[in-house]
Amino acid sequence: MIIVVHFLLTKGLIFLTNAMIQDVNIKDSKQFYINVLGCKNITFEHFIVSAPNESPNTDGIHIGRSDGVNILNSEIKTGDDCVSIGDGSKNLVINRVTCGPGHGISIGSLGLFKNEEPVDGVTVKNCTMANTSNGVRIKSWSGAEPGTCSNIHFEDITVTNVSSPITIDQKYCPWNKCKINE
Ligand SMILES: *[C@@H]1O[C@H](CO)[C@@H](O)[C@H](O)[C@H]1NC(C)=O
Ligand SMILES: *[C@@H]1O[C@H](CO)[C@@H](O)[C@H](O)[C@H]1NC(C)=O
Ligand SMILES: *[C@@H]1O[C@H](CO)[C@@H](O)[C@H](O)[C@H]1NC(C)=O
Ligand SMILES: *[C@@H]1O[C@H](CO)[C@@H](O)[C@H](O)[C@H]1NC(C)=O
């Protein structure tokens, strides 16, 4: 199946199987560009998004509860995470993706909710981060609910002007929101 642009109306790819999303350009989205939920075997290629550095919560691609997502040869400029990887993401490949500005590629945040599914099998390879606050990151909430994150590979990542190239934060606590969980 080849999907062109119609899905952009909803910005959510929900329960989609065996799809290829190619040659898409998006500019200045409000909030997440694409939310991928419950999908299987889908590939993004030449997916170009841009938003200014100061735009809040404009994650490029958010993935959750999906198996076999590939993001290839893409370019993501945003004010938030380039790709954010939520619970239940399995067999995800991110290859030849350029991020920046923004917050880099992030697994999590995990552990905010009960019964989150494991993150298993993430490969981020041959990617470039430029002008981002983080490079690659794993974050779980302070006082997190039980959960796991395994088989994670970050390989051949080039960082330029990145404040924290590699971060593993097990006490993620933005805006002091986690205090109630401790
Ligand atoms: C995965 O999706 C692609 C379309 O992008 C299709 O050609 C391929 O056969 C699918 N693979 C499997 C294992 O179903
Ligand atoms: C990494 O990606 C660049 C393009 O972004 C490509 O020219 C290069 O061959 C790739 N390297 C590997 C080892 O795949
Ligand atoms: C980083 O940001 C500076 C200042 O905005 C810009 O000149 C430069 O081209 C950016 N670098 C990359 C690789 O995007
Ligand atoms: C570094 O990146 C920041 C954005 O994160 C940008 O404002 C700044 O101009 C960049 N500096 C250089 C030297 O590219």
Can 62 be counted among the known catalytic residues?
no
pLDDT of residue 54: 77
Q: What is the pLDDT of residues 2-14, one digit of tens each?
A: 444 444 445 678 8
Residue 173, in any domain of the structure: no
Count the domains in the chain.
1
Residue 178, in any domain of the structure: no
Mean pLDDT of 32-37: 82
- Which atom of ligand 2 lies at the shortest distance from residue 98's CA? 5
CATH number at residue 38: 2.160.20.10
Q: Which domain holds residue 25?
A: 4-164
Token pair belonging to 81: 């995470």
Q: Which ligand has its closest atom nearest to the C-alpha of 41?
A: 1
Q: What is the pLDDT of residues 102-159, one digit of tens each?
A: 999 999 999 989 999 999 999 999 999 999 999 999 999 888 888 899 999 999 999 9
C-alpha dist (Å) from residue 16 to 1, 95, 158, 168: 10, 21, 32, 31
Q: Which amino acid is at 176?
A: N
pLDDT exceeds 60 at position 170: yes
From atom 8 of ligand 3, which residue's Cα is the shortest distance away? 131
Residue 171, in any domain of the structure: no
Residue 174, in any domain of the structure: no
